[in-house]
Chains A and B, each alone.
Chain A
Amino acid sequence: MGSSSRQRATGHGRQGWRDGWTRVLGAPAIVAGVFAMTFLLALPLSIMLRGALSAHLGSSLAAETAATGVNYDWWQEFTAQATDLGTTFSPSIVGFAAVLDNVSGVIDARTPIAPIAAALALYMTGWAFLSGGIIDRYARQRPIRPHGFFAASGGYFFRFLRLAAFAGLVYWWLFAYVHPWLFDHQFDNLTRGLSVERTAFLIRGGFYAVFGALLVATNLVVDYAKVRIVVEDRRSVFGALSASLRFIRHHGRQVFALYALNTLTFLAVLALWALMAPGAGGAGLSMWLGFLIAQLYIGARLALKLQFMASQIALFQANLAHAAYLAAPAPVWPESPAAEAIR
């Protein structure tokens, strides 16, 4: 492929990126819906933790400094006796450290505690359910109303569950075997005789890149499989996976150019959050302001996740023979006594 092909690929990637944002911003209900899901699933555990914190603070004056700033003595006393959720209450929850902690936790294969793992499993199941409706809506580029959305979600859910089972196997294999081989076995072998930390870090960074690439590759194949399941109404998950692989193989430059653009956008959001993330702060209005800013960040992350999906759909559709694919709305019998009388 010559430079003109690269330019076409990049151009398609850029177009897909722009188109993706158009689709995301054109369906704000989806953004609101996934935000509500994220918020509501996190809420019960937060309420439980609040109960534990409140019980420990009781009527103590320690709450005064904990409310107005940081009472690190009390904090450490709490975590010393904490179990379950309380053990996750560490300084890493403050500001941008949360991002570092979470990304590091995943890429370093840290196992979440049971209540958190349960919430994460529920969350990912929620996404698996909603993805069908989301892809369908973005592919149609027109409102499909809630019943249309959830009908699509339900219709594709079991196909997506089968796809998730396959993806889960791959991810499990990566974390159970590839990750320890890289980060325990190979990293130990390569760094055993190293006396320079910077070199060890570069090696680890290289392993992060390798492992990350494997995760991204799996992610891409599964993402385009989902797109093909919905847009082409494919029944076979293995058929969708091989179709996804074919698409990526034939349009690799566009696919990776788009992924790179989305990743850069993601990094820009993180950088902005690193600058704006509130610290410990106090109680009262500043607390709510800080929480609001944090929710805006969560909203931006969610919009970005939807952008990944929407832009991939846009790229796929732009490469289809029938690029302006839009399915006609399914006919709906009107809900009214008059219509019932006609029937």
Chain B
Amino acid sequence: MLTEFSHVFAFVILAIIFIAGGLVTSKLLRPKNPNKLKLASYECGEDAIGGSWVKFNIRYYVVALIFILFDVEILFLFPWALVFKPMGWLAVAEMFTFIGILVVGYIYVWAKGDLDWARPKPFVARLQDVVQVNTLKVTVGSEELESVG
């Protein structure tokens, strides 16, 4: 018995057949003459330097996430601008509430320092910061050595 969701399943099967069929057919038909230059990574005709597995700074993630947040906000502003006139002051109040919530988030991000690219090094507590350090004076012969104990 076909339920509504089985149509989705049919689409999934069709999509797999369609893509796999294209890939297999082209695999069978295409000429295959690989050589060292052809298999090299494309770098506009230059010799590629280094691998393509480059590490990206993790800070891109935070910035991208914040960007998407405000991008979506702009997205919501467009339909709002269309219904702005018939809805009147209610629309203004609604949108300002919405933006207000986002502004709070913006201020939070700003205060946390996530918008600064060059952030100060995080404070890592060392033993000396936690434990009270006593300075012992040890005398060896005539010389006075300072040691931490």
Partners in one complex: no
Residues of A within 8 A of B (CB): none
Residues of B within 8 A of A (CB): none
